[in-house]
Amino acid sequence: MTAIEGSVALVTGGSRGIGRALVTALYERGAKKVYATARDPRTVTHPDAVPLALEVTDPASVAAAAEQAQDVTVLINNAGASVNANFLDSPVEDVRREFETNFFGPLLVTRAFVPVIESNGGGHILNVHSVLSWIGLAGSYSASKAALWSQTNSLRLDLKPRGIEVTGLHVGYVDTDMAAAVDAPKSTAESVAAQALDGIASGAFEVLADDISRQVKAGLAADPLALYPQLAAA
């Protein structure tokens, strides 16, 4: 378990959406310092946050951020992209771009910050997945989040002996810019952030932040037709 009070956290993609809600919630729970990263740190609006430039797909940018934030004990890999490339029709480069942001980006950041967290006595990493980690309805986005889920599970084993716990956050639609065009029930970013921090504090392996995530996770052991009714013969 990792105490939020007194911690030093870094939230990638911390200027809007779930990331901004996480920054606010961390301070509300007593975090000592929160680095909020963005490609343009001027977009970070929280008055107490420490803005930090970061492009998660750029190794030099990641290394520079880690050099500046040597006191981090909690890392939240929240930054992501939603390309939703079709595997048959979209340019392969679109698929690669999604994986660069959603899979390799968190990996680069994690590899850079593990020595930092370890040198500060251990701590916690939270990766933001999606219900679409478990159901292939969004092409490259689903695949990249499924790969991130697997990365998280592997890292949890690798980092336990080093005093670093790892939590995966799964959520469906959230009332943010990314889901603005979706006409479906949505969680608030504040609710998701609160559940994510509860998971860090309790040492949870996974946080399922809404009903749809809980339903889909429960259905993974069922016949594929249960998740993909469109496969049924007409």
Q: Count other Cβ atoms within 10 Å, centred on residue 42.
A: 9
Cβ atoms of 149 and 129 closer than 8 Å? yes
Pair of tokens at residue 195: 């559940």
Dump the DSSP string for 91-108.
-HHHHHHHHIIIIIHHHH
Pair of tokens at residue 27: 């301070």
Distance CA 23, CA 87 (A): 35
Residue 101: DSSP 8-state: I
Distance CA 79, CA 14 (A): 8
Distance CA 209, CA 170 (A): 6
Distance CA 66, CA 35 (A): 11
Active site residue 141: yes
Pair of tokens at residue 145: 């989040």
Catalytic residue selected from 35, 141, 160, 186 = 141
Pair of tokens at residue 33: 């310092």
Active site residue 145: yes
Q: Which amino acid is at 201?
A: A
Q: Which amino acid is at 135?
A: I
Catalytic residue selected from 145, 160, 173, 228 = 145
Residues annotated catalytic, as ranges: 141, 145
